[in-house]
């Protein structure tokens, strides 16, 4: 793991260490000073039950109590379903056709693609090399929805303008975070009209 961190230049990733736990049971068997009797087994089970209860408690606190205190961004509260519903309706109302393509970041476009009933394909970051399965001629023919939540919601990001220069920017809007948690998402969007 240390070699991966040094070689890649990245910081440690939390989940990189989890495979080491796979050998924990083997280590216990090899190095236990004596066989498990019933009393010892009960203590081990109680200890691990305490560990798992503490993890469940920490998870619940992280998503119910801490958002009101630390105001950190938590992806679980992103209003992906509302975003997809709102933008799919706006695209259909403006064009009269189902939404086939979304141009956006992996996060924004991915949420729209996942939750939209039309199940559109995503041109990630507006860069064809990031989504080689996208037929750009078909995208231009069927039109696309552009979405961004970072930067100025009133102006299309430059990387999107390169692929959809004729897209018309819509009026930005704001969505509250899910489950009434603090925070909101400012949404910029545009429509690349289908060719008739």
pLDDT digits (tens, 9 = 90+) for 14-54: 666 777 778 888 887 777 777 768 888 898 899 999 999 99
**42, 70, 98: which is the final residue of a domain?**
70
**70, 87, 116: which is the final residue of a domain?**
70
Q: Residue 189: phi, psi to the nearest 5?
A: -155, 160
> How far, in Å, are 42, 47, 49, 130, 164 from residue 27 at the CA level?
19, 17, 20, 44, 58
Across the range 158-170, mean pLDDT stands at 92
Tell me, what's the pLDDT at 120?
97
Are 145 and 91 a contacting pair, CB within 8 Å? yes
Print the domain residue range for 136. Answer: 75-192
pTM exceeds cut of 0.85: no
CA 75: distance to chain centroid? Answer: 6
94-152 pLDDT, tens digit each: 999 999 999 999 999 999 999 999 999 999 999 999 999 999 999 999 999 999 999 99
Tell me, what's the pLDDT at 13?
66
DSSP code of 163?
H
**41, 70, 99: which is the final residue of a domain?**
70
In the block, residue with structure tokens 């023919």: 141
| Highest mean pLDDT of the ranges 1-10, 60-69, 185-194 | 185-194
């Amino acid at each position: 793991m240390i070699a991966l961190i040094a070689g890649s230049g990245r910081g440690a990733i939390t989940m990189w260490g989890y495979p080491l736990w796979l050998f924990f049971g083997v280590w216990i068997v090899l190095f236990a000073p004596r066989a498990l009797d019933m009393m010892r087994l009960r203590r081990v089970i109680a200890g691990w039950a305490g560990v798992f209860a503490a993890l469940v408690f920490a998870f619940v606190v992280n998503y119910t109590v801490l958002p009101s205190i630390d105001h950190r961004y938590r992806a679980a509260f992103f209003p992906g379903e509302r975003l997809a519903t709102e933008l799919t309706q706006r695209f259909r109302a403006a064009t009269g056709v189902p939404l086939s393509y979304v141009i956006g970041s992996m996060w924004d476009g991915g949420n729209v693609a996942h939750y939209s009933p039309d199940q559109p394909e995503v041109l990630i970051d507006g860069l064809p090399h990031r989504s080689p399965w996208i037929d750009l001629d078909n995208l231009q023919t069927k039109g696309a929805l552009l979405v961004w939540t970072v930067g100025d919601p009133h102006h299309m990001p430059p990387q999107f303008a390169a692929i959809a220069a004729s897209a018309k920017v819509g009026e930005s809007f704001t969505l509250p975070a899910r489950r009434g948690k603090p925070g909101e998402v400012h949404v910029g969007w545009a429509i690349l009209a289908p060719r008739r």
